[in-house]
């Protein structure tokens, strides 16, 4: 099936924010948790909405924890964030080739826009759906369907690209094609278990997939 629209998750897919996320969680957990969390445990918090992760740590202090996390994340954002290899040139080539591009993230829109600005991709995407634009986060299909709706795209020719099983599940639930990224911090086998339509070894694989190269 031809691909005319590509929707991307942001963190862990286009931009590497993993160490920033780990640092922000570590900082927050030190303040609000009664025990030490291992790196492995913190990695499990990457992907789902913050509120779900914080709920597991300290249900009574969720809002305070989110505020602490976001403050740290924003203050240290520019220091950590960079695009993954081949990402910037790939998305620009796709745009030039007439492929419609969008972002579907569980981040708040403003922070997501910041990440795109730092990595030089602010003007590449036609739509950005953040956590504050929907009622239900991925794996619910709402964020993807909202993007498709705004872009007036055809679900049949839409591809959702992500580093987390939430992205693949959301794609399945929305009836679009899906692609997992092999550089996911979760380990590719986690994604493969959710049967993405494609697995990308590097972002430039998309060019061949859509017939740009």
Residues labelled catalytic: 9
Beta strand extents in the chain (DSSP E only): 5-8, 15-16, 82-83, 100-104, 127-129, 158-162, 177-181, 198-200
Q: Quick count: other Cβ atoms within 10 Å of Cβ 95?
A: 17
Q: Measured between alpha carbons, how far is 5 from 187 in angstroms, rounded to an integer?
A: 26
Beta strand extents in 25-99 (DSSP E only): 82-83
- Identify whether the C-beta of residue 69 lies closer than 8 Å to the C-beta of residue 22: no
- Identify whether the C-beta of residue 87 lies closer than 8 Å to the C-beta of residue 204: no
CA dihedral 98, 5, 115, 146 (to 10 degrees): 130
């Amino acid at each position: 099936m031809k691909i005319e629209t590509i929707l991307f998750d942001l963190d862990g897919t286009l931009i590497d924010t993993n160490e920033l996320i780990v640092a922000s969680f570590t900082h927050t957990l030190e303040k609000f948790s009664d025990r030490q969390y291992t790196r492995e445990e913190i990695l499990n918090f990457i992907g789902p909405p913050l509120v779900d992760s914080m709920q597991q740590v300290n249900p009574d202090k969720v809002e305070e924890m989110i505020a602490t996390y976001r403050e740290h994340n924003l203050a240290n954002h520019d220091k950590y964030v960079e695009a993954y290899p081949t990402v910037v040139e790939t998305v620009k080539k796709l745009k030039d080739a007439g492929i419609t591009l969008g972002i579907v993230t569980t981040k708040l829109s403003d922070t997501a826009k910041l990440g795109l600005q730092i990595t030089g991709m602010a003007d590449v995407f036609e739509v950005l759906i953040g956590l504050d634009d929907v009622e239900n986060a991925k794996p619910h299909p709402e964020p993807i369907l909202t993007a498709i709706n705004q872009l007036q795209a055809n679900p049949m020719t839409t591809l959702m690209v992500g580093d987390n099983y939430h992205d693949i599940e959301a794609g399945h639930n929305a009836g679009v094609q899906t692609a997992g990224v092999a550089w996911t911090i979760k380990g590719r086998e986690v994604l493969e278990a959710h049967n993405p339509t494609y697995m990308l070894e590097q972002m430039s694989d998309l060019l061949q997939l859509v017939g740009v190269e």
